[in-house]
Amino acid sequence: MSIEIGSYEAKTKLAELLRGVRAGNSYVITLRGRPIAELVPPQRRVAAQHAADAIRRFMREGTERGGGVELRRWIDEGRA
C-alpha cells in the first residue's frame, strides 16, 4: 500500500522518505492532489518489470497456454 505525499512535503522530507523506502514503504507523490510519481523499493520495480515482460510475451505468442485459444480471435470478438 502506498502513502500519498504532496510534492512540497516530499521535497522537504526526502531523506525521511528514502529511509522509509529502504524499510519497504512506497509513496505516491502528488502535485495539487494528482499523482505524478512513485517512490518504491527497487525490488518492486523489478518485479513489476518482470510481470510486464511476461504479459508482452503472452501477447506475442497469441495463444493461451494449454487451452489453444487464439488471442486475436478473442480481440476480434470483442472479448479481450
Structural domains in the chain plus CATH codes: 1-40 (3.40.1620), 42-80 (no CATH)
* Range of weakest confidence among 10-14, 21-25, 47-51, 70-74: 70-74
Q: What are the phi and psi torsion angles at 25 (to 5°)?
A: -80, 160
**What's this model's pTM, rounded to 2 decimal places?**
0.56
Give residue 69's pLDDT.
Answer: 60
Query: Who contacts 60 (Cβ-Cβ below 8 Å, separation ≥6)?
Result: none
**Grid coordinates in use for 64?**
493461451
Mean pLDDT of the region 23-48: 89
Mean pLDDT of the region 1-24: 94
